[in-house]
């Protein structure tokens, strides 16, 4: 097996999807599976579809194209605001996009007309998280112009919270979104078919039964992939947190001091790390580093292993407690948070293996599906 590698258990992803979809559907909410943290990985997308999502979304056109090339036959939505320079590709490859700028809507309209399509759009409203979205006061004037544009169809309203500023979705801001949708419907006699209110941060609100009834759409990535809601990063009931496991190989294994010798300057990344005096410890150097992962977001699967730090190409761990059972050439495994998973999926140096039914380390991976 080539290391480092990221083993993706697609059965766990399918199971997690089913859990989240059942929760949402029983509250009248349809789920679009978000593949962006996996760079549009086709096997992940297929697992989400088996688990019951009604559509898929990604934030990069390259990944939408990857899904199309893999023969994924479902509605693909473009999650990131389209660049003015990319409207032709957006209309070509995505059935729907999220939007907040009239100039882009005009360009999408022209692009759609050029290829004889009608492109669905969801207008994003900023309810306080201060990332994308039309400010609520400006919504009616924007819709007034947008409904004149041929080739695009305003399918509904959306909002995105808990991403940039960590604003929680709650009954108040969700009610505000529904009120805005009703206002648009009344002003323009235009039905808002989709009220796309939440991402993985909305699960608690949905489960508590306090989500306003008209909210009917969620865009879910992390809760399906890592089994966590995202307001407190609580593991979600009946989901797996270990669908993705990173395996890295021991390159060097030596007993050395726990504190550096000599006068100290900045490290390779311009910081001055602190070291705890723990006497001599057994240190392992592994073949992943900051180029491939976000070190702070890694957690060893064996709790006796302690991460000491990393440079671009090495992860340094304290393996004193397990020294008797490991050797050079063995692999150690890690779970990842969202940031670390994003980095590992994006790294060209980490091999990705989708498999069914898990993988326990060492030897051959059984039943690799890609």
For the record, the structure tokens of 101 come out as 């700028």
H or E segment and range at residue 273:
none
Q: Is 220 in the site for ligand PLP (CB under 6 A)?
A: yes
- Residues 225, 215: Cα–Cα separation, whole Å: 23
Three state DSSP letters for 156-206: EEECCCCCCCCCCCCHHHHHHHHHHHHHHHHHHCCCCCEEEEECHHHHHHH
Q: Is 217 in the site for ligand PLP (CB under 6 A)?
A: no
Task: Report how many residues bind ligand PLP under the rule CB under 6 A.
Answer: 14
For the record, the structure tokens of 131 come out as 């990332």
202 closest CA partner among 27, 37, 14, 13: 27
Q: Is 230 in the site for ligand PLP (CB under 6 A)?
A: yes
Residue 320 CA: distances (Å) to CA of 132, 316, 325, 333: 47, 12, 10, 16
Q: Name the minimum Å distance from CB 281 to ligand PLP.
A: 37
Q: Is 16 in the site for ligand PLP (CB under 6 A)?
A: no
* Residues within window 28-57 making contact with ligand PLP, judged by CB under 6 A: 34, 36
Nearer to ligand PLP, 109 or 199 (CB): 199
Question: For ligand PLP, which stretch binds (CB under 6 A), given 5-13, 217-225, 254-262, 357-365?
Answer: 217-225
Q: Is 160 in the site for ligand PLP (CB under 6 A)?
A: yes
For the record, the structure tokens of 32 come out as 């679009």
Exposure string over 85-94, b if 16+ CB within 10 A, otherwise e: ebbebbbbbb
Residue nearest to ligand PLP (CB): 221
* Residues within window 96-155 making contact with ligand PLP, judged by CB under 6 A: 98
Question: For ligand PLP, which stretch binds (CB under 6 A), given 105-113, 180-188, 213-221, 244-252?
Answer: 213-221
Q: Is 340 in the site for ligand PLP (CB under 6 A)?
A: no
Q: Is 219 in the site for ligand PLP (CB under 6 A)?
A: yes
Q: Is 256 a catalytic residue?
A: no
* Residues within window 189-208 making contact with ligand PLP, judged by CB under 6 A: 199-200
Q: What are phi and psi of 173, to 5 degrees?
A: -70, -30
* Residues within window 67-86 making contact with ligand PLP, judged by CB under 6 A: 79
- Residues 232, 247: Cα–Cα separation, whole Å: 27
Q: Which residues bind ligand PLP (CB under 6 A)?
A: 34, 36, 59, 79, 98, 160, 199-200, 219-223, 230
Active site residues: 36
């Amino acid at each position: 097996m080539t290391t480092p590698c990221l083993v993706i258990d697609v059965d766990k992803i399918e199971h997690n999807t089913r859990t989240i979809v059942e929760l949402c559907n029983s509250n009248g909410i349809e789920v679009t599976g978000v593949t962006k943290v996996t760079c549009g990985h086709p096997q992940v997308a297929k697992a989400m579809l088996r688990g019951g999502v009604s559509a898929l979304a990604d934030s990069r056109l390259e990944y939408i194209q990857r899904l199309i090339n893999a023969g994924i036959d479902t509605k693909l939505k473009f999650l990131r605001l389209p660049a003015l320079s990319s409207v032709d590709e957006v209309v070509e490859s995505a059935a729907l996009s999220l939007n907040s700028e009239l100039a882009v809507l005009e360009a999408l309209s022209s692009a759609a007309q050029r290829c004889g399509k009608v492109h669905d759009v969801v207008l994003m409203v900023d309810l306080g998280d201060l990332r994308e979205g039309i400010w609520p006061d400006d919504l009616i004037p924007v819709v007034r112009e947008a409904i004149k544009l041929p080739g695009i169809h305003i399918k509904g309203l959306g909002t995105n919270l808990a991403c940039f500023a960590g604003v929680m979705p709650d009954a108040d801001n969700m009610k505000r979104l529904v009120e805005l949708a009703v206002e648009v419907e009344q002003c323009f006699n235009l039905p808002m078919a989709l009220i796309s209110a939440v991402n993985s941060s909305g699960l608690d609100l949905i489960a508590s039964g306090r989500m306003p009834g008209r909210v009917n759409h969620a865009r879910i990535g992390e809760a399906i992939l890592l089994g966590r809601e995202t307001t407190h990063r609580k593991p979600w009931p009946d989901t797996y947190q270990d669908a993705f496991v990173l395996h890295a190989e021991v390159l060097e294994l030596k007993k050395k001091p726990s504190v550096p010798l000599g006068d100290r300057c900045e490290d390779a990344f311009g910081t001055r790390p602190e070291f705890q005096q723990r006497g001599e410890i057994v240190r392992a150097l592994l073949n992943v580093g900051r180029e491939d992962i976000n070190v702070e977001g890694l957690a060893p699967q064996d709790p006796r292993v302690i991460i000491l730090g990393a440079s671009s190409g090495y992860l340094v761990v304290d393996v004193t407690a397990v020294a008797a059972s490991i050797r050079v050439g063995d692999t150690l495994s890690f779970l990842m948070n969202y940031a670390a998973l994003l980095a590992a999926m994006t790294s060209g140096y980490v091999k990705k293996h989708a498999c069914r039914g898990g993988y326990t380390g060492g030897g051959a991976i059984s039943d690799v599906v890609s």
